[in-house]
Amino acid sequence: MPDAAIDDLLTQDGGTPRRSFLKWSAAVGGGAAALGAGAYFGVLPGIGPENAAHAESGSGIDRTVWSACVVNCGSRCPLRYQVKDGTIVRVLPDNTGDDGLLTRQIRACVRGRNMRQRIYNPDRIKTPLKRVGPRGSGQYEAISWDEALDLFADKLKHTIDTYGNESIYKNYGSGVWNAHLGTSGGWERLFNLLGGFLGYYGNYSYAQILTVTQYHYGAPDEQISNSFEDSVTNSDMLVLWGNNPQETRMSGGGNTFTSAAAMKNNNLKIVVVDPRHSDSAAVLADEWLAPRPGSDAALVAGMAHVMISENLHDQAFLDKYCQGFDEAHMPEGVPAGHSYMSYVMGLGPDGIEKTPAWAAQITGVTERQIASFARDLANARAANITQGWGPQRHANGENQARAIYTLAAMTGNVGIPGGGTGGREGYYWPITSWFPDGENPVKTQISMFGWTDAVERGPELTALKDGIRGKDKLDVGIKFMLQYGGNMLSSQHADINRTRKILTDESLCEFICVVDNQMTASANMADLILPDTTTAERWDLVPSEYTGDMAYLIMAEKAIEPLFDSKPAYEMCVGIAQRMGIEQEFTEGRTLEEWARWMQAETVREHPEFPTFDELRVQGVYRYYNPEGLTVALKDFRDDPDANPLATPSGKIEIFSTGLWEMAKTWEFPDPLPGDVITALPEHVDTWEGPVEARTNKEFPLQVIGHHFKGRVHSTYGNLTLLKEAHPQMVWINTMDADARGIVEGDLVEVFNNRGRIRIPARVTPRIMPGVLSVPQGAWFKLDADGVDIGGAVNTLTKIHPTPISKGNPQHTALVQVVKA
């Protein structure tokens, strides 16, 4: 890409080119380390409507309107669209706020700043399309909206009448999260009014930790840790365990900023634990540990052995707040030898002492590093262990997540300023009103990862074998599928070749509709394609998500009219509701803009300090804060565990889980693979295609993971030319592995196993653990004539086999080989 094009892409409004986002992220936040916990809570001076409105003198534009980058990166960023003659001619970032830790500007990254290329992309779906060739052939004919909505309504009515509402499924998709209107688009409200649909639980981001946390901490979702803002002043160690905010949360308003602010605290040691030397390791870390993928629970056990042997663990905390660390604090009825201490010291059923030498053999981290890290962590005054979602996305990822939680308990860091729980960095969750989808009359749910099984063999799925919730078994498979704002059919689910084979059998799922604004590979699997708008072409309200102790709400105004023959999903739903006889119940007489106004009015009714809808149109962004100050997770529990017990059976942190102990007795694994076990302790479990098998598998000796990527968010933005030039899709391979195969930087290589083969350039680097490859996840699947995926989608290589407890996606567990193409 020419330098001028890069500068144009990355230039901040009124500033200089930012040729490296990482250099910028490391430079902001001056003075943040001195911020006190009580500062900047309340309405911010100088960031009101009178200062936020942006006058574009002499620009020749017609107007500037506020909008947002609405994709699932975990931040959400304001954008300002400059409009001329009905066309967006420039995208500008937030121009409110400053460089303060809790007053910061929310500057969009290169992805959001490149929004024009997404809005005006040749891949835009321009009109409704009906399939005319075999499913998956990509053969379509253009049809009118009346024909399209008639077809949808007819198929929906036929499915309900023939199979019942449990056969209708709205598939997981996060390309429109977290817009208040756009997230559901109206589809769930529509289906609920028609009798409901088969639901799902979990998500592809953190299914394992979401489910298993209830057995450890009693929380119905992941257990957050303390915020990065808290670590800025109160921690002397910050551990980013499989956590990469500099790439996964690439927002000036989010954790790229706050983690960089933490780095500026000279008294804070930052340790990154990751098989890949990520940009967070490069920019933030004082120390990097590189365990083999899927070996985190073994690393924790080796560290625990050091702490126990040298009496470095916090026994007083464990005695008072935890169940199951030692034999004196076990639930009744459990045989001796099942405490975590017994497991670590070799006194448990397996009889293996989990020494640093044992852990080193599994993890690849040296004994010296394991012991040194354990001592530093145990001796820290206050350490915030924050785990990302990579460690739990493995074949026994539930145990990995719980093991990292356990380190926080062993070091007594739970519930104190500067400490943490071992979960992801804390945040203040948005409090604004959402579009009312109503209640789903169908209570049956499958795991979000189980939909291909529900298509292929739905009536065989049961609660004890497959994690069905709400009833003992499914009565029918998925017959009608809606894929809205997602790319699960040919990118984000596992084993793409097998997934496509299941979907091309029209005797299974009888009708597939894809609603999107880009012609993805998933769209090519549909029977009916409906062209959605982008956020620029509809009204919405957009909250922040995982942005720490500063939450915010963004106005997303309709900047231009819908391009081509596209419609907002809500208007599609209105048309279908008309045909199904429920239009008034669905709309309540409101247009899309009127629903947005209603939602903001509801927020203002409950929180009068918020701006009105029209005030927010001028102001653009409204910042607000946790009224309790900086996030210190489980502080009430730490202060008084009797008055504030956890929602576990014991009321305590359950290192030995009573619930999992009982579950292990009843859950079924008819055709188990290694790792398909449930353990009451967070033990290391050797799994299929895990780090132990990699050492003996001569055909496929390399582990492959899929890291999140600066060039796109999952698969969103995956077709934008400028971003692909700035961040090309390449497989990371260690220098030693490359040398053994005659591979040099830039060589075209093929990565393959029995599930598929991708062709992709090689990035030869010491920044990844030997024996491990990493393919940036989210690339658009594209088969050539030989059946090779030349798009480089990592899920061509991954396996459809759920994890044991959450029935989640183990998409970092896979073995492959790589050769020069």
| pLDDT tens, position by position, 652-663 | 999 999 999 999
Q: According to the model, what pLDDT value does residue 700 have?
A: 98
Q: How far is 35 from 98, CA to CA, in rounded Å?
A: 14
- The CATH number covering residue 803 comes to 2.40.40.20
Q: According to the model, what pLDDT value does residue 634 have?
A: 98
Chain mean position to CA 466? 23
Q: Both 248 and 391 in a single domain?
A: yes
What DSSP string describes 169-221? EEE---TTTT-TTTTTTTHHHHHHHTT--BEEE--TTTHHHHHHHHHHT--SS
Q: Both 768 and 711 in a single domain?
A: yes
450-458: average pLDDT: 98
Collect all residues with Cβ–Cβ distance below 8 Å to 81 and sequence separation of at least 6. Answer: 64, 65, 66, 67, 88, 90, 91, 92, 536, 559, 560
- Identify whether 85 is part of a domain: no
Q: Which token pair is 185?
A: 């688009």
pLDDT at residue 625 above 60?
A: yes
Q: Both 422 and 478 in a single domain?
A: no
Task: Taking each helix axis as running N to C, give the angle between helix 356-363 and helix 367-379, from 0 to 180 degrees, rounded to the nearest 10.
Answer: 120
What is the count of structural domains for the chain? Answer: 3
Q: According to the model, what pLDDT value does residue 177 have?
A: 87
What DSSP string describes 123-170? TB--S-EEE-SSTTS--EEE--HHHHHHHHHHHHHHHHHHH-GGGEEE
Extract the runs of DSSP E, i.e. beta strands, from 255-358. 269-273, 287-289, 322-323
β-sheet with 269-273: strand ranges across: 287-289, 269-273, 237-241, 383-387
Q: Both 243 and 380 in a single domain?
A: yes
764-775: average pLDDT: 98
Which structural domain, as residue segments, surrounds residue 321? 209-428+635-666
Q: Both 164 and 294 in a single domain?
A: no
Q: Both 528 and 656 in a single domain?
A: no
Q: Both 390 and 307 in a single domain?
A: yes
Q: How far is 10 from 799, CA to CA, in rounded Å?
A: 37
Collect all residues with Cβ–Cβ distance below 8 Å to 212 and sequence separation of at least 6. Answer: 398, 401, 402, 660, 805, 806
Q: How far is 330 from 314, CA to CA, in rounded Å?
A: 17
Question: Of 614, 649, 666, which residue constitutes the final position of a domain?
Answer: 666
pLDDT band at 253 (very low <50, low <70, confident <90, very high): confident
- Which has more confidence, 262 or 761? 761
pLDDT at residue 17 above 50?
A: no
pLDDT at residue 6 above 70?
A: no
pLDDT band at 249 (very low <50, low <70, confident <90, very high): confident
Q: How far is 613 from 475, CA to CA, in rounded Å?
A: 46
Task: Tell me the pairing of strands 731-734 and 756-765.
Answer: parallel
Cβ atoms 206, 350 nearer than 8 A: no
Question: Of 522, 557, 587, which residue constitutes the final position of a domain?
Answer: 587
What are the two backbone dihedrals, phi and then psi, of residue 475, each rounded to the nearest 5 degrees? -95, -20
Cβ atoms 773, 816 nearer than 8 A: yes
724-740: average pLDDT: 97
Q: How far is 13 from 490, CA to CA, in rounded Å?
A: 37
pLDDT at residue 778 above 70?
A: yes
Q: Both 190 and 326 in a single domain?
A: no
- Identify whether 51 is part of a domain: no
Q: Both 168 and 254 in a single domain?
A: no
Q: According to the model, what pLDDT value does residue 493 have?
A: 97
- Identify whether 91 is part of a domain: no
Backbone CA torsion sign across 423, 428, 433, 434:
negative
- Asked which of 44-48, 74-78, 233-237, 450-454 is least confident by mean pLDDT, the reply is 44-48
Q: Both 753 and 805 in a single domain?
A: yes
pLDDT tens track for 381-437:
999 999 999 999 999 999 999 999 999 999 999 999 999 999 999 999 999 999 999
- The CATH number covering residue 311 comes to 3.40.228.10
Place of tokens 């050539």: 784
- Identify whether 598 is part of a domain: no
Place of tokens 């102001």: 619
- Identify whether 216 is part of a domain: yes
Q: Both 776 and 656 in a single domain?
A: no
pLDDT tens track for 292-335:
999 999 999 999 999 999 999 999 999 999 999 999 999 999 99
pLDDT tens track for 156-180:
999 999 999 999 999 999 999 889 9
Q: Both 704 and 655 in a single domain?
A: no
Q: What is the mean pLDDT of the chain?
A: 92
Q: According to the model, what pLDDT value does residue 59 have?
A: 65
pLDDT band at 74 (very low <50, low <70, confident <90, very high): confident
Question: Which residue type, as a one-letter code, is found at position 293?
Answer: P
- Identify whether 342 is part of a domain: yes
> Which pTM was predicted?
0.92
pLDDT at residue 40 above 90?
A: no
Q: According to the model, what pLDDT value does residue 328 have?
A: 98
Count of helices and strands (H, E) across the chain: 30, 26
Q: According to the model, what pLDDT value does residue 251 have?
A: 80
Q: How far is 467 from 201, CA to CA, in rounded Å?
A: 10
- Identify whether 164 is part of a domain: yes
- Identify whether 5 is part of a domain: no
- The CATH number covering residue 158 comes to 3.40.50.740
